[in-house]
Amino acid sequence: MNNSASRKDSSLFLPLEISCFIHVPALFCLLRATPPQQREIKTNLALVQICVILIDVLNSVLFEPLFVAEELLIYLRGAARHAMPVPVALGLFALGIGTLVISTFICTIIRHQTMMAESSRFKMRKV
């Protein structure tokens, strides 16, 4: 048996280590150093950051997808490949991506509405 084929490539964990070092200061700056004009969207920005962290952990640690372009396949190599069925794993990933998209959209709408003048016809009024 080839030893080099049975060993795990340590360079696969490099993106996870880099992203973890990036997530920590980003979350710290979001929670501690948010400017006063961003106070309205601070909770939505926190939701976006948490979604990004969860998606990163799911993708980098639990799933470790390997894309096979010739066959249009995704092969899961991570820790969750035996712990849960593939539809559940893909459902979790889709839920994370969907939550990220919706929270980003809500953040954009709230920020857009706070910048609009009260007399603007594009300003959403509370019903």
Q: Is residue 122 part of a domain?
A: no
Give the pLDDT confidence score for residue 98 in this predicted structure.
Answer: 92
Give the pLDDT confidence score for residue 58 in this predicted structure.
Answer: 80
Give the pLDDT confidence score for residue 11 in this predicted structure.
Answer: 55
Q: Is residue 73 part of a domain?
A: yes
Q: Is residue 4 part of a domain?
A: no
Q: Is residue 120 part of a domain?
A: no
pTM score: 0.67
Average pLDDT of adjacent 10-residue blocks, the chain of 127 residues: 52 64 83 80 85 82 77 77 79 87 88 81 72
Kindly give the residue spans of alpha helices, DSSP state H, lying in 11-68: 14-32, 42-57
Q: Is residue 127 part of a domain?
A: no
Give the pLDDT confidence score for residue 54 in this predicted structure.
Answer: 84
Q: Is residue 123 part of a domain?
A: no
Q: Is residue 3 part of a domain?
A: no
Give the pLDDT confidence score for residue 127 in this predicted structure.
Answer: 45
Segments forming the whole domain that contains residue 78: 10-115
Give the pLDDT confidence score for residue 10 in this predicted structure.
Answer: 55
In total, how many domains does the chain have? 1
Kindly give the interhelix angle for 42-57 and 86-115, rounded to the nearest 10 degrees: 160
